[in-house]
Structure 1
Amino acid sequence: MKVTKGYADYITFLFDDEQGSPIISNLLKEEVLIEKCICRVVDTITGYYEKRIEIKDSVILRLDMYAAYIYGGLTITNSVIGYFRLMDGGYNREPIIIRNCVFLGEVDFDESVLKNDIIIEDCIFLKGHDFVEDIRYAVMKEEYFKVKI
């Protein structure tokens, strides 16, 4: 799934089988790329993401990844995010990489379980970085915690 160069009011990841029948399994098997977009809301819906989700060079008012199992990992680079929630999810088999971003609002990792590296570098958090303790509790091994704020 690829969304590039433009404005989208609402992006959500819907699940269906090969015949287009509605939600049989909530496993998305393809990579997701959101690039050079301006979007009001990106909502992952509760689901399982086998491949990497990548957001780059974008502006997103609300990035809501509630109960998203991001097995393939997540990369957010060179973007401005209003509100970001990765809550009650995680379970990443691949790294979560957040680099060169500006976060305008709350950042929420509450109740996530992180099973691989989480790398946060060169980001600005206008509402502070209280969420760092949530990440520290979420990582399954201390060496996965690679946050430089």
Structure 2
Amino acid sequence: MEVIKGYVEQLILDFFEEKEEGILDLSYKEAVLIKKAICNTVKGVRVVYKKRIEIKDSVISELTFFEADFEGGLTISNSVIGSFRLMDCCHYQEPIIIRNCIFTGDIDFKGATFNYDIVIENCIFLKGHNFIQDIEYPKGVSRPEFFKVKL
């Protein structure tokens, strides 16, 4: 498990391992915990996260995941987040949980596809949100019980 604490200007959660010449493994097989951190930018692009990504008790100005697959799920709790983007992301077996957070910037889930629960509880969105319209479910999988919002 990778643990990040304290101040970090930029944290890039991209992990590439070359399996053979010209063939990359874009999977990250360890859990990541960002706890009690102050970060300007946290980004992850085109990575398959096999284990849970957890962010708690932190302040992050920009949190962006683009074309990331959260096979192990994602948890964000007790944090202040500026802009938050889960663009063209997927998740499969574990829930995405966002709990007790304050979001001060734009929220963008455009093109995100979810095959399992997304739980958003007790959060404050200072600029509003449009994630209900942004989230897509694969054909035949769109079930309202997946999306649990309690503001």
Question: In the alignment, which residue of structure 1 is the partner of 2:116?
Answer: 116
Question: In the alignment, which residue of structure 1 is the partner of 2:28?
Answer: 28
Question: Shift in Å at residue 143 of structure 1?
Answer: 1.2
Residues 1:73 and 2:73 aligned together:
yes
SS of residue in 1 equivalent to 2:113? coil
Question: In the alignment, which residue of structure 2 is the partner of 1:148?
Answer: 150
SS of residue in 2 equivalent to 1:133? helix
Residues 3 and 37 in structure 1, CA contact (< 8 A), matched pair in contact too? no
CA distance in 2, matches of 1:65, 1:23: 22
Task: Tell me how many residue pairs correspond in the alignment.
Answer: 147
SS of residue in 2 equivalent to 1:116? coil
**TM-score normalised by length of structure 1:** 0.90
Question: Shift in Å at residue 99 of structure 1?
Answer: 0.2
Question: In the alignment, which residue of structure 2 is the partner of 1:85?
Answer: 85
Q: How does 1:12-51 map to 2 (within 5 A)?
A: 12-17=12-17, 24-51=24-51
Deviation track 1:89-143 (CA, whole Å, cap 9, x = no partner) reads 12231000000000000111111110111000000000012222223x4473221
Change (3 A) 1:82 1:23: farther
Q: 1 or 2, which has the higher strand percentage?
A: 2
Residues 1:107 and 2:91 aligned together:
no
**Structure 1: where are the runs of 5+ without partners?**
none
Moved over 3 A (4+): 16-19, 137-140
- 1:95 alignment partner AA: P
CA distance in 2, matches of 1:14, 1:122: 30
Change (3 A) 1:148 1:41: same
SS of residue in 1 equivalent to 2:133? helix
